[in-house]
């Protein structure tokens, strides 16, 4: 399913939708309790936000991080590393 959606978006050249997909996948993984894939998709999302220079996308990255922490995963190494990456993105935007 993921591959079919990605190909359809690439054909239509919808950059915003393509950039938003990792966020949606990250949230889906979080709902299933799959933290490593959640953070991996979150990282991909933050990278695309950086590439697109989109500060409003960063708000979604922070929202995902908050959801991870609120769900009790804040002490996991992968989550703290993700938090550091978001901070780096914020510094790069200034």
Q: Using alpha carbons only, give the angle 12, 55, 9 rounded to the nearest 5 degrees.
A: 10
Domain that holds residue 75: 6-93
pLDDT (tens digit per residue) in 25-77? 999 999 999 999 999 999 998 888 777 777 667 788 899 999 999 999 999 99
Where residue 91 falls among pLDDT bands split at 50, 70, 90?
A: confident
Q: Which secondary-structure segment (H or E) carries 26?
A: helix 15-31
pLDDT of res. 31: 96
Please state the domain count of the chain. Answer: 1
Rounded Cα–Cα distance for residues 57 and 62 (Å): 9
Question: Do the domain assignments include residue 1?
Answer: no
Given a cut of 60, whether residue 20 has pLDDT beyond it is yes
């Amino acid at each position: 399913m993921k591959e079919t959606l990605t190909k359809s978006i690439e054909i239509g050249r919808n950059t915003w939708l393509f950039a938003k997909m990792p966020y949606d996948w990250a949230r889906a993984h979080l709902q299933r309790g799959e933290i490593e894939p959640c953070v991996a998709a979150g990282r991909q999302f933050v990278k695309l936000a950086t590439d697109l220079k989109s500060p409003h996308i960063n708000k979604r990255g922070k929202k995902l991080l908050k959801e991870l922490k609120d769900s009790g995963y804040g002490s996991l190494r992968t989550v703290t590393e993700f938090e550091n990456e978001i901070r780096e993105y914020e510094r790069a935007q200034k």
